């Protein structure tokens, strides 16, 4: 402690010695397995516990935690490589307060007056706080879309600067190449009324 206080170093610095790991002889095989798992459908992927069990069957007698830490580091490095090589694109999902909301429709069912009825459910979610608003309708029309926006903005206490949508038919007349969209005139009028920018 005296040495660090005299040198006025804010944080003690020390070198972590290189220690051999029980996983070292199996690292190449584990990397190959992890690479193969990345190409499989989600439901067919082996879990880290299964990979650990497979390594144990080959003679590995180290801990599950070491395998899990190796897998996490490998997956992080893989994602960075995918992002920088252009084979995968990652959009950072960080937003400022009031910057954006996300809107989408889903379908659900309810018993209304004794009859099983399909509902069109409007979902709003603020991108920063994740506060959300849900409202159900019988149809998915422009009137329902505009009504959902009106109630959501009133309940959430304002209008964010951007709205993020998929290519829903009540907003887009035609999807072009890349980011080109022919926006529906009625939807464009609503966006202009509330003065936010729509992204698809």
CATH of the domain at 178: 3.30.420.10
Q: Are both 186 and 162 inside the same structural domain?
A: yes
pLDDT, averaged across the chain: 86
Give tens-digit pLDDT for 153-192. 999 999 999 999 988 888 888 888 877 888 999 999 999 9
Q: Are both 54 and 124 inside the same structural domain?
A: no
Residue 7 within a domain: no
**Structural domain boundaries, residue 46:** 24-84
Cα 69 to Cα 200: distance, rounded to the nearest angstrom: 37
Highest average pLDDT, of 18-32, 77-91, 182-196, comes from 182-196
Length, in residues, of the chain: 200
Residue 10 within a domain: no
Q: Are both 30 and 110 inside the same structural domain?
A: no
Residue 2 has pLDDT above 70, yes or no: yes
What pLDDT sits at residue 16? Answer: 60
Q: Are both 129 and 193 inside the same structural domain?
A: yes
What domain count does the chain have? Answer: 2
Give tens-digit pLDDT for 142-155. 999 999 999 999 99
What pLDDT sits at residue 35? Answer: 87
Q: Are both 175 and 111 inside the same structural domain?
A: yes
Cα 84 to Cα 107: distance, rounded to the nearest angstrom: 37
Residue 9 within a domain: no
What pLDDT sits at residue 168? Answer: 86
Per-position b or e across 164-184, b if 16+ CB within 10 A of its CB: bbeeeebbbeeeeeeeebeeb
Token look-up 């880290």 returns 48
Residue 13 within a domain: no
Among 59, 84, 109, where does a domain finish?
Answer: 84
pTM over 0.95, yes/no = no
What pLDDT sits at residue 52? Answer: 92
Give tens-digit pLDDT for 22-55. 888 888 888 889 888 888 777 788 889 999 999 9
What pLDDT sits at residue 89? Answer: 52
Pairing of strands 172-175, 181-183: antiparallel
Residue 55 within a domain: yes
Per the CB < 8 A criterion, the answer to whether 121 and 153 are in contact is no
Pick the residue with more confidence: 84 or 183?
Answer: 183
Mean pLDDT across 89-97: 70
Q: Are both 57 and 109 inside the same structural domain?
A: no
Token look-up 């879990």 returns 47
Q: Are both 191 and 116 inside the same structural domain?
A: yes
Band (197; pLDDT cuts 50, 70, 90): very high
Residue 11 within a domain: no
Cα 136 to Cα 155: distance, rounded to the nearest angstrom: 15
Residue 93 has pLDDT above 60, yes or no: yes
Cβ neighbors of 160 (< 8 A, separation 6 or more) are 98, 99, 100, 101, 126, 127, 196
Per the CB < 8 A criterion, the answer to whether 166 and 105 are in contact is no
What pLDDT sits at residue 80? Answer: 75
Residue 31 within a domain: yes
Q: Are both 133 and 75 inside the same structural domain?
A: no
- Side-by-side strand order, sheet with 132-137: 132-137, 115-126, 100-112, 162-164, 197-199
Residue 158 within a domain: yes
Cα 180 to Cα 73: distance, rounded to the nearest angstrom: 38
């Amino acid at each position: 402690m005296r040495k660090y206080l005299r040198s006025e170093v804010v944080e003690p610095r020390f070198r972590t010695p290189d220690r051999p790991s029980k996983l070292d002889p199996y690292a190449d095989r584990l990397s190959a397995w992890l690479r193969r798992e990345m190409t499989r459908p989600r439901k067919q992927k082996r879990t880290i516990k299964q990979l650990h069990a497979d390594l144990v069957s080959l003679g590995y007698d180290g801990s599950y935690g070491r395998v899990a830490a190796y897998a996490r580091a490998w997956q992080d490095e893989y994602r960075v490589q995918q992002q920088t090589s252009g084979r995968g694109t990652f959009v950072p999902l960080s937003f400022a307060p009031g910057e954006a909301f996300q809107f989408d429709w889903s379908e659900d069912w309810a018993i209304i007056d004794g009859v099983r009825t399909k509902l069109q459910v409007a979902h709003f979610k603020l991108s920063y706080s994740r506060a959300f608003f849900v409202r159900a309708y019988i149809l998915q029309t422009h009137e329902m879309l505009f009504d959902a926006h009106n109630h959501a903005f009133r309940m959430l206490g304002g209008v964010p600067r951007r709205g993020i949508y998929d290519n829903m038919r009540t907003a887009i007349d035609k999807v072009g190449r890349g980011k080109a969209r022919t926006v529906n005139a009625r939807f464009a009028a609503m966006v202009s009324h509330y003065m936010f920018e729509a992204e698809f």
